[in-house]
Amino acid sequence: MITTKQRAYLRGLGNALDPVAQVGKDGLTENVITSIDLLLEARELVKLRVLKNAELSSKEVAEALSKSLNAEVVQVIGTIVILYKKSTRKDFKHIELP
C-alpha cells in the first residue's frame, strides 16, 4: 500500500509518460493482462489508455488490473490509467518513493 505522498510523487512521474498499452473492445483478455504485467515488471510505472469502445470503464479496468496483478492504482483520469508495481528485477534503477 502506498501513501498519499507517494501517490502524488508517482502521479508527477506518470504525467510525463506516454500510454504504452491500450484496452479496447475485447476488454481485459489474458494477453492484455500478461503484457501489462510484463510492462510493470520492466518499468514499474505504466500509463494505459482505455479506448472509448471498451466494455469496461477506466475505473473498472484499473480496479481489475490492480487486483489481478497486485499493482497500485496511482491515478484514473478520463480514459487514462496509471499503475505502479515494484519490480523484482535487480538489473535496473528502481523508482525511489519518498
State the Cα–Cα distance between residues 28 and 49, nearest whole angstrom: 12
Q: What residue spans define the domains of the chain?
A: 4-84
Check residue 93 and give its pLDDT. 84
Q: Is it true that domain 4-84 has CATH number 3.40.50.1100? A: no
Ranges of residues in the chain with a pLDDT under 70 are none
What is the predicted pLDDT for the residue at 15? 94
User: Of 15, 25, 34, 24, which Cα lies nearest the Cα of 82?
Assistant: 15
User: Taking the model in full, what pTM does it have?
Assistant: 0.93
